[in-house]
């Protein structure tokens, strides 16, 4: 029995209908932007393993730093104790985070980073004696799969069974091209109320919505409205952080900066699970009180895990190097050039690009996440040696920064080949669980 078959006897995979899904591809090794399967097949990881990998798989420098930390301190309770990796990582993050951030709270992943941000914002107003309950979010947003994060995310098939248990949120349209003024009007109407605690947003790029993009100018207007009406702002930079949009954080594109920032994914370069939520001094001071009930009662067993923090420090070392920054610019430029090449081709509805993120939306008459086209395109890419994870009829690239020009070209050529699949001139077979990856 091979690894994929053994997997099927014991594992329940995320976002996977286990009854109909193809057998998973067993990966045994990674190097740079390439993953190697049990059968010897190699794949370019064009989605950075769910957007987490910044510098390439099994990076020797990060591995060295993690190994060194494991020989010193693997973990310690973070209530009443501290350690150097956590302090040093917080110090370095606060130097590169949006202006005004002054404190860092560690968590385990992106969803929990969002949970902490929401709890900070809601309890902030309670601690001041002026409770506010409403949260504003974008209609098609995604902020995670824990209950608070689900509540501020789009009401969709992902969250449908839980709708009765989610708290009420005021949703506004995403201010995509042509809808900017409409969103601003919606936002202004909501902001005039006195019960709005916070606005949470994915800055410039809504990931799970299909890499939907909007401009810094319109987000700046929304943030200004929040400042005018004393509404806290939460930037969910879990996906956009650490260079993905061209800047270290997407918030750098705006003049008005958030009160709270959520981080995860690229925080450790894809090596360890770690999340963090930063805030400005105004929010932090609202929790300082002789009354212990005003404490932020939140924590995780693995809060500020030293090994994960060591991985984060190593990833930051690599991120600030000239070579990495040049690669971010190189990938951004090549994405832009490819977008220009294909934007007017048949069956391509729209091409969107911001920094190292490129999205290609195919015009196949559907836009559902559950479209059969999704599975067909996914299998087509795998058979061409590329890992792409379509969002319905949308293909996106968000690669490790070490990806070479030749590897990028292979990814681009794979996407070009998908045109024939969408048009029907190449009736690529649908994946069959009984034959794929035996």
Q: Which 3-state string (H, E, C) describes 140-174?
A: CCCCCCCHHHHHCCCCCCCCHHHHHHCCCCEEECC
CA 219/CA 240 separation, integer angstroms: 15
pLDDT, tens digit, for every residue of 26-43?
999 999 999 999 999 999
Of 108, 236, 259, 364, the catalytic one is 236
Mean pLDDT to the nearest integer, 59-82: 98
pLDDT digits (tens, 9 = 90+) for 362-387: 987 766 677 778 999 999 999 999 99
Secondary element (H or E) of residue 279: strand 275-280
Asked whether residue 423 carries a pLDDT value surpassing 50, the answer given is yes
Task: Tell me if 52 sits within 8 A of 30, measured CB to CB.
Answer: no
Q: pLDDT by residue (tens digit) across 327-354? A: 999 999 999 999 999 999 999 999 999 9
Q: Is 236 assigned a catalytic role?
A: yes
pLDDT of the residue at 42: 98
- At 213, give phi and psi (nearest 5°): -125, 150
302 is known as an active-site residue? no
Catalytic annotation, pick one of 43, 106, 124, 142: 142
Q: Rounding to the nearest 10 degrees, give the CA dihedral for residues 418, 422, 426, 427.
A: 120
**The CATH number fitting domain 63-319, selected from 3.40.50.620, 3.90.650.10, 3.40.640.10, 1.10.260.40:** 3.40.640.10
pLDDT for the residue 418: 95
**Which pLDDT tens digit goes with each residue over 138-166?**
999 999 999 999 999 999 999 999 999 99
Q: Where are the domains of the chain?
A: 3-55+347-423, 63-319
| Class of the domain covering 3-55+347-423 | alpha beta
Percent of the chain with pLDDT strictly greater than 70: 96
- Which residue in the list 15, 61, 165, 224 is annotated as catalytic? 15
Element (H, E) at 329: helix 322-342
CA distance 293 to 348: 56
Is 224 a residue of the active site? no
pLDDT at 434 over 50: no
**Active-site hit among 132, 134, 221, 265:** 265
CA atoms within 13 A on the CB side of 410: 21
Asked if 3-55+347-423 and 63-319 have one fold, the answer is: no
Active site residue 292: no
Across-strand partners of 387?
45
Query: What is the radius of gyration, based on Cα positions, of the chain?
Result: 22
* Mean per-residue pLDDT of the chain: 95
**Mean pLDDT, rounded, for 226-254:** 98
């Amino acid at each position: 029995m091979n690894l994929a078959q053994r997997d099927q006897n014991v594992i329940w995979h995320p976002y996977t209908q286990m009854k109909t899904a193809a057998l998973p591809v067993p990966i045994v090794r990674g190097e740079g932007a390439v993953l190697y399967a049990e059968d010897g097949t190699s794949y370019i990881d064009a989605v950075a393993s769910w957007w987490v990998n910044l510098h390439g798989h099994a990076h020797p420098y990060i591995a060295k730093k993690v190994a060194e930390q494991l020989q010193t301190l693997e973990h310690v309770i973070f209530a009443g104790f501290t350690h150097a990796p956590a302090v040093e990582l917080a110090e370095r993050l606060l130097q590169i985070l949006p202006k005004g951030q002054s404190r860092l709270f560690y968590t385990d992943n992106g969803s929990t980073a969002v949970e902490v941000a929401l709890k900070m914002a809601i309890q902030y107003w309670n601690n001041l004696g002026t409770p506010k309950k409403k949260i504003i979010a974008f209609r098609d947003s995604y902020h995670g799969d824990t209950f608070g994060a689900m509540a501020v995310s789009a009401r969709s098939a992902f969250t449908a069974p839980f709708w009765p248990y989610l708290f009420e949120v005021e949703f506004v349209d995403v201010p995509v091209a042509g809808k900017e003024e409409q969103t601003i009007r919606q936002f202004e109407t909501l902001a005039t109320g006195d019960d709005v605690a916070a606005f949470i947003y994915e800055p410039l790029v809504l990931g799970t919505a299909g890499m939907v993009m909007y401009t810094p100018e319109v987000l700046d207007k929304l943030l200004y409205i929040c400042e005018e009406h004393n509404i806290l702002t939460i930037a969910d930079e879990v996906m956009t952080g650490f260079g993905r949009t061209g800047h270290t954080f997407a918030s750098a594109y705006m003049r008005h900066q958030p009160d709270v920032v959520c981080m995860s994914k690229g925080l450790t370069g894809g090596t360890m699970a770690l999340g963090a939520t930063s805030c400005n001094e105004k929010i932090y001071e609202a929790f300082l009180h002789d009354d212990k009930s005003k404490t932020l009662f939140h924590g995780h067993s693995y809060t500020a895990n030293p090994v994960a923090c060591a991985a984060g420090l190593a990833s930051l070392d690599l991120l600030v190097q000239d070579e990495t920054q040049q690669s971010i610019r190189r990938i951004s430029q090549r994405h832009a050039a490819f977008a220009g090449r294909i934007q007017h081709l048949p069956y391509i509805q729209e091409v969107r690009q911001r920094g190292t993120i490129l999205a290609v939306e195919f015009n196949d008459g559907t836009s559902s996440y559950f479209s059969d086209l999704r599975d067909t395109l996914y299998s087509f890419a795998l058979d061409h040696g590329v890992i792409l994870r379509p969002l319905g009829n949308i293909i996106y690239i968000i690669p490790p920064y070490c990806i070479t020009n030749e590897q990028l070209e292979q990814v681009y050529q794979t996407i070009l080949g998908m045109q024939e699949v969408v048009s029907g001139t190449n009736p690529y077979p649908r994946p069959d669980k009984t034959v794929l990856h035996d």
